[in-house]
Structure 1
Amino acid sequence: MKILGIQFAPWRIPWQRRLQTSVVASWISTFVFMGLGGLLLLAYLLLFTRFWWVSVAYAGWFWYDKDACNRGGRRWQWVRRWQLWRHFRDYFPVRLVKTCDFSPDENYLVGSHPHGVLCAGAFCNFCTEGNDFSGTFPGITPHMLTLEGNYSQPFYRELFMATGGVAATKRSMEYLLSLPTRGHMLVLVVGGAPEALMARPGVSQLYINRRKGFIKIALRFGVSLVPVFHFGETDVYTQVWNPEGSRLRRWQEWLMHYIGLAPVLFLGRGMLQYNFGIVPFRRPVTTVLGRPIPVQKSADPSQQQIDELHERYKVALKELYDTHRHKYALDPTVELEFK
């Protein structure tokens, strides 16, 4: 049904699909609004109600707990197993493809590509049990590495750490890889904020040529590297046209330099119509985990060692993409580009 050019959702949609849309809308709303909303709520309680002590108590807790994201986080398995994550999975749907087994006696450093706008595939597969990660990879504990700034947002930080999120900092990675236990899988979205600005349907561009810090960490700890590609990740949103060199892109890059986050002007659909909104489109996302790349430990790796391993990683990532694109990519003719 169209009214004034806006295509509305049919009235007779199965309840299950409406539930899936509601769950995904709640997820994106949490990401966009929960931090600021929590801050405004605490300010309101402090300044205008007799429950000022709630704000003071949370501020004390935040100060005491502020470094938890660099010390392994605070995973709550019951949050990861919430039934709503299965509705989240089925909305797109998101799938997880296993190409080999992973030993619980080793640690792994995963490079997650591409970033897309909001990492829907990485979140579903590594931050929840929506696709039964624990059953698929027994003995492996995933840790999603994200910007440290995400853990400065009240209430949102508690939710994200509960799903297994930790800070994407050198200190956080060193802490996890130094633990006496094994089976830790550190999942790093290598392209980060710059790659988010490239995300748009029909494009497979990865910001990786200058990202070598994770390679150095892998060499220092002798931890295997694992390339991962999320087919369809860049198809779930469009964004305002921002080619390199444009005024908008320059403004976004300037702002990103100061706040650390990518100010992506993304476009999705709404709850009841398909033309505009912040809800992602229903497009399949398939996460394929490649084979681990063995890394020989070097306490003080040279630049040559870093560069050589970086090239090996890029070759393995391209092989992974080329092997599976004809099966999982929306447009298998799109070539992978490294920026």
Structure 2
Amino acid sequence: MKHLQISNILGSCCIYIIILAYYLGSSVFILLPFALFDVRYAFLTTIAILLFYRIRFPFEYNGAFEIQFLRRNRFVDFIQKQQSWYNIHTSKLDINKKYMFIGCPHGMLPISWFFFVLHLASVGIYPRPLLGDIIFRLPYVREFSFIFGGANASWKSVKIAADNERSLIILAGSAEEMKYSGKFKDKVIVVKRTGFIKAALQYGYSLVPVMGVGVDDLYHPYVLQWEWFKRMLGYYLFIAIGKFDIIYPRSTEVYNIIGKPIDVVVNTKPSKREIQDLSDLFYQKLENCLEYYNQTNNKNIKLEYIMY
């Protein structure tokens, strides 16, 4: 009985070690708990907690745990100064307007985009990050996302944010762009989508393109093609390989070029033509952001689209 109790305790801890290892980006840490402890209980507890975290609780949407003052403090300022990450505004933002910031590309781990959210707080804008469903199925990660205002990327979340006059930040390319991280030095891969275009039209959001040059260089992806994991969570397990093969990002410069906002008139029932026209305009403005970076840094990075 004593052995069973200890195994259960250790097994319960394994899931947190595994999730932590996922973000540390080293497969050694994933295998270590199973090598040291009772594999049966560790595995069963891992599956049980992952299944539990499939549940979508109502507070995923209403931001009940959001603590805005965490976005602005001396510790955050200190951390940001340690990285060569720059935010370049090509036009002035009105803090009283309702914006939808679209960050491209996603990157392997969107850590630099998290600090972009903190940067916006420094200029008086507190957008709600819309995150992939998988974020809300991971222990600790879900709770961490809540306190920074994270919400599940759904139409319901957009409606609630719009009703409360909250700006949004969306990494539209999502997991489809992750696999291209660290593969190219002379081009940026962006997955073209139109869902956020329709949302901006329906709820009157001003679209702001943000081109993150260098985001793809922070981590390299390593994919574990476990079919059982994909069936459970909807994705393959991506491990981010950073500096020293852990979560610490590689030393590289990141430039977030913030484009000029595109004002949008509310249209609750936009036609396909109207959605396409706004989409074409948005991606042209995104290309302008990259052109601005190239001209100011004497670079020749290309933008390549993949249709989704």
Under a length normalisation based on structure 2, what TM-score does the superposition of the two structures give?
0.74
Query: Which residue in 2 is equivalent to 1:207?
Result: 191
Are positions 1:186 and 2:168 aligned together? yes
Match of 1:169 among 136, 154, 157: 154
Q: Which amino acid aligns with 1:206?
A: V
Single out whichever of 211-220 and 158-167 deviates more from structure 2. Answer: 158-167
Cα deviations by residue, 1:200-251 (Å, 9 ceiling, x for unpaired): 241411011xx111111111112211100111111112335xxxxxxx79x5
Q: Which runs of 5+ in 1 are unaligned?
A: 1-27, 41-47, 49-58, 241-247, 271-275
Match of 2:58 among 63, 67, 72: 67
Shift in Å, 1:316: 0.9
SS at match of 2:88: strand
Single out whichever of 254-263 and 82-91 deviates more from structure 2. Answer: 254-263
Are positions 1:298 and 2:298 aligned together? no
Shift in Å, 1:261: 4.0
* Contact residue 31 and residue 156 of structure 1 kept, 8 A: no
Q: Which runs of 5+ in 2 are unaligned?
A: 1-18, 25-29, 34-40, 42-51
CA–CA distance in 1 between the matches of 2:290 and 2:226? 29
Shift in Å, 1:283: 0.8
Q: Which amino acid aligns with 1:99?
A: T
Distance 1:325 1:224, change over 3 A: same
Query: Which residue in 2 is equivalent to 1:333?
Result: 300
Q: Report 1:45-60 matches (<5 A).
A: none
Looking at secondary structure, tell me which structure has more helix per residue: 2
Match of 1:287 among 243, 256, 262: 256
Match of 1:263 among 237, 243, 251: 237
CA–CA distance in 1 between the matches of 2:227 and 2:162? 32
Q: Which amino acid aligns with 2:160?
A: Y
Q: Which amino acid aligns with 2:299?
A: P
* Contact residue 73 and residue 166 of structure 1 kept, 8 A: no
Shift in Å, 1:111: 0.9
Query: Which residue in 1 is equivalent to 2:112?
Result: 121
Query: Which residue in 2 is equivalent to 1:134?
Result: 121
Query: Which residue in 2 is equivalent to 1:17?
Result: none
Match of 1:103 among 94, 107, 119: 94
Match of 2:284 among 290, 315, 336: 315
* Contact residue 115 and residue 233 of structure 1 kept, 8 A: yes
CA–CA distance in 2 between the matches of 1:113 and 1:318? 11
Cα deviations by residue, 1:180-206 (Å, 9 ceiling, x for unpaired): xx3x22000010001001112414110
Query: Which residue in 2 is equivalent to 1:13?
Result: none
Shift in Å, 1:326: 3.8
Match of 1:151 among 113, 133, 136: 136
* Contact residue 22 and residue 240 of structure 2 kept, 8 A: no
SS at match of 1:66: coil
Distance 1:170 1:31, change over 3 A: farther
Cα deviations by residue, 1:60-106 (Å, 9 ceiling, x for unpaired): xx98x922121245321343235443343234322222222222332
SS at match of 2:243: coil
**What percent identity do the matched residue pairs reach?**
23
Distance 1:222 1:278, change over 3 A: closer
